[in-house]
Each structure stands twice: as structure tokens, then as C-alpha cells.
């Protein structure tokens, strides 16, 4: 009976966890869904086969990529970010097809921007469609928890009509496809990526604070991989194989009224930047923006933000790998 409290704690965490996965989607092992992208032994698959550590040190960052290409679906991972001093460090969980469509790529991004000690990580979301890299659609947020303390689930829902970003069960952003967006809405098959890398030039206060390797290695932990959607044949991009989504109603029905209320409340409290209110970048906000004067007023007080090269994550990663090759 000595073990009883431990078992009880374990059971509770399983229940809490299952609740986080109310979508009821299968969780893949790393080898079932992903392959290493770069970083040698800075990528470690843990014994359970379902968790991965990605680390950044003075030699290299690291990353992995989904084995399949997807057109639409629900994509998710639980992530725990490195603690303490993380200025200049970027952890990214994103979809891209820059390897296939070099001149007209699409992207859907979750980016975690490190910070100096005592200041919190921030999250950035963004999309590109058909190489729309002249129009960054970034938003930035704080979180209601410390993302270095526990695992939290970060998810992307991508359909033909909308894209929703989730943190745990909270939808934090919805992008509806509008006619005027044209090709700017991601619409070609993409793979999923997770990376950690040195973005000293821009990640923290526009490059003011660099990565300090005294605190390396920086380790981001990943688990609970969900890749649930339509896979696409890489040779014949029109050939789709879709998983049954009937058990996952959120995929087909989108956002419920109660989820929407939570989203609005999150955005009111935690959104720190939205491209729609950035008058320096956009004299006229991009067509899909719905301007809320109260929000505009509130977002005024945040510092201007510098963005990652303005050419998308794919290019940032490529640059990063090139500079590594030179360093080695």
C-alpha cells in the first residue's frame, strides 16, 4: 500500500491529460510520424519512443520533420520549453512546403521566442500562402502559465476554410479564409517541422539580446505527437488519403460558441501584438483585418516588434543551416 499515493497521482495526471486530449486522436511514437531533420545527437528520442529532446548548443540546433505531407488536418505536440536565460533562442513548431515549392511556398507557424532571465517566453503565430512573404501576418501573445514548468499542448487545425491555433484546449487565433486574401491562405500540401535554433539577430528585442552559450544546452522537450489529416502522395500531389475525422468533430465543425468566448478573453488579456494594428508596417491593414478600436488602443502601448527576416521560417532555417555548415 506504500505505493498508493504515487499510483493515485499518476492516475490523476492521466485523467487530466486525457482531458487535454478531448479530441480523442491517436498519439504517434516519434518513429511513426517523424524523422530527424538536422542536429546530429542534439536530437534524442527517449526510451518510450514517444518523447524527444531537441537541444541547441554552440555547435548546432536540431529539428525533426514529419515523414508525410499533409493537406489539412489537426497537428499537435506537447512541448516544454527551456528555462532561465533563453534570449535569442527560438523553438518552432510549424508547417511548410518550402522544400517542394521554392518560389511559392506556404507556411503555418507557431514560434516560441526566448527571453532574458525573469522575462517570459512569448508565442508568435503567422501564416504565409503562395510566397506572400511581403505580408507578414504575425501575432504575439504572453501565456497564462510558465511554459518551461510543464508540458502544454500546442495545436494547428487547418482546413480549406480556416486555420485555428490552440494552446491546450483554448483556441487563441482563428484565420478565416476570405476571398480577398486570394493565394495568401495556405492551400498546398505541407510537412510539419519542429526546430530549436539560434535566432540572435531578431528573436529578443529585435536582436538586442543574443544567445548566451554559457547557459547551453538549451533543451526543448516534445511529446504526444498528433498528425491527423489527409496525407498526400509526394509524387502525385493530387492523390489524397484521409483519416477518419468523424471521431474528431472539432476538425469538421471548427470553433464552438463557448470556445469563441474563451478565445476572445484570451486575446483581450494576452495578445501583445497584431499585424492588423501595426500602422508602421501597413498604412492600410490587410483586407481580412477586422479593426476593433478598443483593441487598437490597448495594443498601442506595446513596443514595436522586429520580425524574422520577413521571408518565412523555411528561409530562416535554411540560412541557419548554411551558417552552420560554414562554422563546421
Ligand X SMILES: *[C@@H]1O[C@H](CO)[C@@H](O)[C@H](O)[C@H]1NC(C)=O
Give the catalytic positions in this structure: 107, 111
Question: Cβ closer to ligand X: 47 or 134?
Answer: 134
For residue 134, the SS3 value is: coil
Question: Cβ closer to ligand X: 136 or 186?
Answer: 186
Residue 183 lies near ligand X (rule: CB under 6 A): yes
Q: Is the dihedral of CA 310, 313, 319, 323 positive or negative?
A: positive
Residue 178 lies near ligand X (rule: CB under 6 A): no
Instruction: Return the residue of 26, 182, 206, 234 that touches ligand X, per CB under 6 A.
Output: 182
Question: How far is residue 326 CA from its own chain's centroid?
Answer: 28
On whether the CB atoms of residues 80 and 167 are closer than 8 A, the answer is no
- Name which of residues 100 to 159 contact ligand X (CB under 6 A): 104, 130
Question: Cβ closer to ligand X: 26 or 183?
Answer: 183
Host H or E run for residue 53: strand 51-56
Give me the least distance between CB of 184 and ligand X, in Å please: 8
Cell digits for 154?
500546442
Question: Cβ closer to ligand X: 183 or 206?
Answer: 183
Cell digits for 258?
463557448
**Closest-CA residue to 110 (of 47, 188, 190, 172):** 172
- Name which of residues 20 to 59 contact ligand X (CB under 6 A): none
Q: Draw the binding track, 72-111, toward ligand X (x: CB under 6 A; -: no contact).
A: --------------------------------x-------
Give me the least distance between CB of 285 and ligand X, in Å please: 20
Instruction: Count how many Cα atoms sit within 13 Å of the Cα of residue 282 in the half-sphere of its side chain.
Output: 17
* Alpha helix stretches (DSSP H) within 88-216: none
Give me the least distance between CB of 104 and ligand X, in Å please: 5
* Site residue total, ligand X (CB under 6 A): 4
Q: What are phi and psi of 274, to 5 degrees?
A: -140, 135
**Sites of contact with ligand X (CB under 6 A):** 104, 130, 182-183
Amino acid at each position: 500500500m506504500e505505493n498508493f499515493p504515487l499510483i493515485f497521482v499518476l492516475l490523476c495526471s492521466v485523467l487530466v491529460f486525457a482531458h487535454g486530449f478531448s479530441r480523442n486522436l491517436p498519439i504517434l511514437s516519434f518513429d511513426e510520424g517523424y524523422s530527424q531533420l538536422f542536429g546530429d545527437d542534439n536530437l534524442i528520442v527517449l526510451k518510450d519512443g514517444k518523447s524527444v529532446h531537441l537541444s541547441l548548443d554552440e555547435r548546432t540546433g536540431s529539428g525533426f520533420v514529419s515523414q508525410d505531407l499533409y493537406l489539412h488536418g489537426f497537428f499537435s505536440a506537447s512541448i516544454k520549453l527551456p528555462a532561465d536565460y533563453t534570449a535569442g533562442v527560438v523553438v518552432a513548431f510549424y508547417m511548410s512546403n518550402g522544400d517542394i515549392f521554392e518560389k511559392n511556398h506556404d507556411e503555418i507557424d507557431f514560434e516560441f521566442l526566448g527571453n532574458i532571465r525573469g522575462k517570459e517566453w512569448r508565442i508568435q503565430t503567422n501564416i504565409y500562402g503562395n510566397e506572400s512573404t511581403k505580408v507578414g501576418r504575425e501575432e504575439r501573445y504572453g501565456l497564462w502559465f510558465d511554459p518551461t514548468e510543464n508540458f502544454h499542448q500546442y495545436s494547428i487545425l487547418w482546413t480549406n476554410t480556416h486555420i485555428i491555433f490552440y494552446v491546450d484546449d483554448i483556441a487563441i487565433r482563428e484565420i478565416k479564409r476570405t476571398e480577398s486574401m486570394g493565394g495568401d491562405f495556405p492551400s498546398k500540401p505541407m510537412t510539419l517541422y519542429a526546430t530549436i535554433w539560434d535566432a540572435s539577430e531578431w528573436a529578443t528585442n529585435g536582436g538586442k539580446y543574443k544567445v548566451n552559450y554559457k547557459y547551453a544546452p538549451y533543451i526543448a522537450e516534445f511529446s504526444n505527437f498528433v498528425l491527423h489529416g489527409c496525407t498526400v502522395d509526394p509524387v502525385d500531389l493530387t492523390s489524397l488519403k484521409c483519416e477518419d475525422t468523424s471521431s474528431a468533430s472539432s476538425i469538421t465543425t471548427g470553433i464552438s460558441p463557448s470556445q469563441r468566448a474563451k478565445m476572445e478573453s484570451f486575446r483581450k488579456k494576452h495578445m501583445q501584438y497584431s499585424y492588423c494594428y501595426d500602422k508602421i508596417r501597413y498604412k492600410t491593414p490587410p483586407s481580412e483585418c477586422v479593426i476593433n478600436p478598443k483593441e487598437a488602443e490597448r495594443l498601442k502601448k506595446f513596443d514595436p516588434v522586429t520580425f524574422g527576416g520577413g521571408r518565412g521560417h523555411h528561409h530562416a532555417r535554411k540560412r541557419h543551416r548554411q551558417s552552420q555548415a560554414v562554422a563546421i
